[in-house]
Amino acid sequence: MAGGRAGLADLRGPRFLNSDPGELKARLSREAHALGFDCIGITASGTIEKAAAHFLEFIASGGHGDMDWLAAQPERRLDPRGLWAEVRSVIMLGVNYGPDSDPLTILQQRTRAAISVYAQGDDYHDLIKKRLKALARWLVATAPSEVKVFVDTAAVMEKPLAQAAHLGWQGKHTNLVSREFGSWLFLGAIYTTLELPRDAAETDHCGSCRACLDICPTSAFPAPYKLDARRCISYLTIENKGPIPQEFRKALGNRIYGCDDCLAACPWNKFAQEGREAKLAARDELRAPGLAELARLDDAAFRALFAKSPVKRIGRDRFLRNVLIAIGNSGEAALAEEARRLLDDASPLVRGAAVWALGQLVSRDEFAAMRSVALSNESDERVREEWRA
């Protein structure tokens, strides 16, 4: 659920054509795998009408929350031609980032932080964009065409297009599921003016299973195949710029960046494979970092720890907001000191979360004593509301 930076490149190549489209497709597939992609499929414009209608319903319901970039110019998302009128084929590619262990075990370690699997290594946007550009250059050098490349952040409906290209299907949790890689695929797209042989769309294999829906800590799925992002922990910890709403704070547990619950619960993960890309593998320091150490990060230390990581984009203040909610949920009285120290932080967002964390960890009498002093010095109304709450 990310937005903002459009991964877009225009490339042109020499005007000569392999006369056999099937052979060109086979060579394209071999080149994609040589570059490190784990799967490839091809579809065209006009193949995601049902998903487009579903997307419009999602926007109309307000389920996108504050992600205004999703609602802006929706016609650009509903069909590839809305973004680029000349596109004839859409090449969808996937990179497996399967974890080497169960991502849900960290949820039992309440004094340590749970970071979503995809964010424990380098930022996939940079890695995949480079590979997409390399493959696009090969394509335009092999056949006369124009191409554009996208990775996650442009107005492209990657998951429906991936299903149309036979990479997987959108499960009841709205994420892509692959019979070969389970829940763990990063997606990229190449739009081209070439007419390439299409793959048959993948069919839905969820059956009667509800595992992804039932495990959600915040009941973010009002119905199968429908997500209310405003209740989703990934949205709340990443896209949400304000305080975490009171009703969801307990449910966050120790999740400080994203949530893997619905992905990890999918039974199709029994066929998943560990990712083979070293740059996407979890860094040791991000597998289960201590909440106390994270709470002590200033801006420079935050940027250093999360260099090349997608975590860096939310900034130190939002990150500490999440860490403090996790501290409040830890049940560990010793962590109250970390929250107490951040009561004087320059950011009202951090101070407000620190107030809530202390309220969970210290006695009522101690909290009341701190409140009487704090209210006389606190100028931010939202922080004052946290003290009064």
List CB contacts of 352: < 8 A, sequence separation 6 or more. Answer: 243, 321, 380, 382, 383, 385, 386
Helices (H) and strands (E) in the chain, counts: 19, 9
Per-residue model confidence (pLDDT) at position 103: 96
Structure token pair of residue 321: 């907001």
The answer to whether 204 is annotated as binding is no
Per-residue model confidence (pLDDT) at position 63: 85
Round the average pLDDT of the chain to a whole number and report it.
92
Report, as an integer, the average pLDDT of 22-48. Answer: 96
The answer to whether 122 is annotated as binding is no
CA distances to 109, 243, 371, 372 from 339, rounded to whole Å, are 19, 15, 14, 17
Residues 96 and 181: beta-carbon distance below 8 Å: yes
- The burial of 328, by beta-carbon neighbours within 10 Å (0-12 exposed, 13-18 middle, 19 or more buried), is given as buried
List CB contacts of 148: < 8 A, sequence separation 6 or more. Answer: 8, 9, 10, 84, 87, 190, 191
Residues 36 and 277: beta-carbon distance below 8 Å: yes
- 106 or 70, higher pLDDT: 106
Which active-site residues does the annotation give?
152
For tokens 């992609």, name the residue. Answer: 37
Report, as an integer, the average pLDDT of 76-97. Answer: 95
Neighbours of 204 (CB within 10 A): 13
Euclidean distance between CA atoms 361 and 336, whole angstroms: 6
Residue 314's closest CA among 328, 289, 297, 337?
297
Report, as an integer, the average pLDDT of 263-291. Answer: 90
Report, as an integer, the average pLDDT of 60-83. Answer: 88
- 335 or 61, higher pLDDT: 335
**pLDDT per residue over 109-130, tens digit each?**
999 999 999 999 999 999 999 9
Strands 89-96 and 39-43: antiparallel
The answer to whether 347 is annotated as binding is no
The answer to whether 231 is annotated as binding is no
At residue 6 the predicted structure's pLDDT band, cuts being 50, 70 and 90, is very low
Q: DSSP character for 314? A: G
The answer to whether 234 is annotated as binding is yes
Report, as an integer, the average pLDDT of 240-249. Answer: 97
Domain positions in the chain = 1-278, 290-389
Q: What's the distance, CA 319 to chain centroid? A: 15
Per-residue model confidence (pLDDT) at position 19: 62
For tokens 């992600």, name the residue. Answer: 67
The answer to whether 39 is annotated as binding is no
- The burial of 267, by beta-carbon neighbours within 10 Å (0-12 exposed, 13-18 middle, 19 or more buried), is given as middle
Euclidean distance between CA atoms 283 and 224, whole angstroms: 34
Largest CA distance in the chain: 81
- Residue 1 above 80 pLDDT? no
At residue 215 the predicted structure's pLDDT band, cuts being 50, 70 and 90, is very high
Structure token pair of residue 236: 């709340």
**pLDDT per residue over 362-388, tens digit each?**
999 999 999 999 999 999 999 999 999
The answer to whether 343 is annotated as binding is no
Per-residue model confidence (pLDDT) at position 387: 97
Torsion, Cα of 74, 152, 94, 144 (10° steps): 70
Report, as an integer, the average pLDDT of 252-279. Answer: 92
Euclidean distance between CA atoms 35 and 213, whole angstroms: 35
- In the chain, the DSSP E strands lie at 10-12, 39-43, 89-96, 114-115, 146-150, 169-170, 176-177, 185-192, 255-257
- Residue 8 above 70 pLDDT? no
- The burial of 307, by beta-carbon neighbours within 10 Å (0-12 exposed, 13-18 middle, 19 or more buried), is given as exposed
If phi > 0 it is left, if psi is from -120 to 50 it is alpha, else beta; for residue 42 that is beta
- 146 or 53, higher pLDDT: 146
For tokens 């209608």, name the residue. Answer: 53
List CB contacts of 209: < 8 A, sequence separation 6 or more. Answer: 172, 267
